Amino acid sequence: MSHNTIAINQQMEKFDGHASVWLFGYGSLIYKADFPYIERRTASIANLTRRFWQGSHDHRGTEAAPGRVVTLVPESGAVCNGMAYLITPEVFTHLDHREKNGYLRLATQITFDDETSVEGLVYIATADNAAYLGAASEQDIARQIAASSGPSGPNRDYLIDLAHALREMGKHDAHVFAIEQYLTS
Ligand code: SIN
């Protein structure tokens, strides 16, 4: 699959005709909401876990030296905490551009902190996209993040801002916090 997922995402018809759609954010979408939304609520999705396994050459790295950003990978029993936004369909034009480096819009069940749930969308970069980097030790991930920078700024800021936002929400993420520990010690 090519790096640029805009055309594929624009063919997503699942929520056509809906006046609004819930979007689940688990990475920069938690702390950088540069789009209009009607409402936002802390939420989680099940059986997926957050990992710094996606390469970034458009935001936090370059083609020659990609940074690392988060995607979600299947893990039975896992719970990924994040932020859900209720948005109108026009907002996807902006989001598809922002998430174009390998992320696909996929339907998912979103559970709010009061345990009610709704079907919505999440951007996931699956293992078959060209920018995917895959697993590495948390120490190696920290080294790569420390050395990377791109048009949206240092890769380090992405990780620190995400760790900070999770802490503010009262949520723990062992993977994110372990990489933060290597980066800041
Ligand atoms: C997300 O935040 O939900 C997707 C990954 C990212 O944009 O950092």
Tell how far the Cα of 165 is from the centroid of ligand 1, in angstroms.
13
Question: Pairing relation of β-strands 39-56 and 67-87?
Answer: antiparallel
What are the pocket residues of ligand 1 if the criterion is a CB atom closer than 6 Å to any ligand atom? Answer: 25-29, 69-70, 99, 123
Tell how far the Cα of 168 is from the centroid of ligand 1, in angstroms.
17
Give tens-digit pLDDT for 88-112. Answer: 999 999 999 999 889 999 999 999 9
Cα 171 to chain center, whole Å?
16
The residue contributing the CA closest to ligand 1 atom 7 is 28
Looking from the CA of residue 27, the nearest atom of ligand 1 is: 2
Most confident of 10-14, 96-100, 167-171: 167-171
The residue contributing the CA closest to ligand 1 atom 4 is 27
CA-CA distance, 142 to 118, in Å (whole number)? 35
Question: Pairing relation of β-strands 117-125 and 21-25?
Answer: parallel
At 4 the pLDDT is: 85
Enumerate the active-site residues: 99
Q: Write the CB contacts of 184 (distance below 8 Å, at least 6 apart in sequence).
A: 160
Looking from the CA of residue 30, the nearest atom of ligand 1 is: 2
pLDDT at residue 13 above 90? no
Cα 43 to chain center, whole Å?
14
The residue contributing the CA closest to ligand 1 atom 5 is 27
Tell how far the Cα of 16 is from the centroid of ligand 1, in angstroms.
22
Looking from the CA of residue 26, the nearest atom of ligand 1 is: 3
Tell how far the Cα of 24 is from the centroid of ligand 1, in angstroms.
9
Give tens-digit pLDDT for 29-69. Answer: 999 999 999 999 999 999 999 999 999 998 999 999 999 99
Q: Are 137 and 127 in contact (CB under 8 A)?
A: no
This prediction has a pTM of: 0.94
All domains in the chain, ordered by first residue:
6-180 (3.10.490.10)
- Model confidence at 126, pLDDT cuts 50, 70, 90, reads very high
At 3 the pLDDT is: 66
127: part of which helix (H) or strand (E)?
none
Task: Kindly provide the b/e burial profile for residues 29-61, where b requires at least 16 CB atoms within 10 angstroms of the residue's own CB.
Answer: bbbeeebebeebeebbbeebbbbbbbbbbbbbb
Q: What is the mean pLDDT of the chain?
A: 95
